[in-house]
Amino acid sequence: MKITENYPLKTLNTFALNVDAKYFTTVASKDEIKQSVEIARQKDVPLLILGGGSNLLFESDFPGLVVRNELKGTSVIDQTDDSVFVKVMGGEIWDDFVKYCVENGWGGVENLSLIPGTTGAAPIQNIGAYGAEQKDSFVELEAYFLKTGKRKVFSNNECMFGYRTSIFKEKLKGEVFIESVTFKLDRKPTLKTEYGAIERELSQIKDRKITVSDVRNAVIKIRRSKLPDPVELGNAGSFFKNPVVTAGKLSELKTKSPDIISYSFGNDSFKLAAGQLIDKCGWKGRREGDAGVHKNQALVLVNYGNATGKDILLLAGKIQKSVLEKFGVKLETEVNVV
């Protein structure tokens, strides 16, 4: 394995932050995972597993070994008349996997089109968008425990998926390397098109049955119109989670702001649109130095060129404070701060 010292990570994190890793390597096999752990142990430094770098915010240079997951491969491992089971290695690009499924006419992940990052990172965050989450199609994953060297297959229930979270983001944070993920796709998919923006896009199709490809195209169009391309403007997508409140709190908010957007979240809970709350506090399009809030989507914080992780965190803190003061709602960050 090649170990590089003082490796620049600017192109490996979508915020395009100018930070370095003290040591850096890539792994393309299960044996190399074990080797990388041993190297970090020998050098007595922390280890960080890196996927697509799309949900990370580096506060400063990383003082240890950054290991990039480059395990590749996608294969059908089982199928029935109604379903297809696909095993995807953790280093595969998530949207490549989605595209592969859609091109085969398999449903289940089309609403998650164009989300940046790798397949191995998707369960950690339990990525979701437009009424769908990866857990909806998730079957199991294979993980390597960095401390013990043991491997374990985690079922859907064992992953403890929640809203933008999982056991790998909470109890087992930083303890496992996700080698592969298996998903169950539908040959006869039930499409999720009730989300407002998707419904509007698809309403133009009147002469035929809507397909998974139509849904994917609609999602891509919506995302591109609202979210900045990380290649052109550094960002990590949604910086904050959409907060969940009780029915009583929602009633209180609507008394003050009747146009507050909300979605039923079950058990007398409702999800609010964090972007709208931030916008109502006057942050949309604002810039402080090279850290700013995107002009089209207040949920997205951006790096205009030379912002540091600390700059972005400082801006995020100001936004959280203003939303709490105006609405009494606490915003939680969605990105992982390193």
User: pLDDT (tens digit, 0 to 9) for every residue of the chain, 338 residues total?
Assistant: 899 999 999 999 999 999 999 999 999 999 999 999 999 999 999 999 998 898 899 999 999 999 999 999 999 999 999 999 999 999 999 999 999 999 999 999 999 999 999 999 999 999 999 989 999 999 999 999 999 999 999 999 999 999 899 999 999 999 999 999 999 999 999 999 887 788 888 888 888 899 999 999 999 999 998 889 898 999 998 999 999 999 999 999 999 899 999 988 878 899 999 999 999 999 999 999 999 999 999 999 999 999 999 999 999 999 999 999 999 999 999 998 99
3-class DSSP assignment, residue 251: helix
Right CATH number for 234-337 from 3.40.50.1980, 3.90.78.10, 3.30.565.10, 3.30.420.40?
3.90.78.10
- Fold of the domain spanning 4-69: 3.30.43
Q: Which DSSP symbol is given to 224?
A: H
Domain ranges of the chain: 4-69, 74-186, 234-337
Right CATH number for 74-186 from 3.30.465.10, 3.20.20.100, 3.30.420.340, 3.90.1150.10?
3.30.465.10
Cβ neighbours of residue 169 closer than 8 Å, sequence gap 6 or more: 124, 125, 336
For helices 94-103 and 212-226, angle between their N-to-C axes, nearest 10 degrees: 150
C-alpha distances in Å from residue 218, one per residue of 65, 130, 135, 195, 213: 40, 11, 21, 11, 9
**Residues classed as catalytic:** 164, 238, 334
Report the alpha-carbon distance of residue 107 to residue 98 in Å, rounded: 9
For 165-203, letters b (16+ CB in 10 Å) and e give bbbbbeebeeebbbbbbbbbbbeebebbbebeebeebbe
Percent helix, strand, coil in the chain, to 5, is: 30, 30, 40
- Is 0.85 surpassed by the pTM of this model? yes
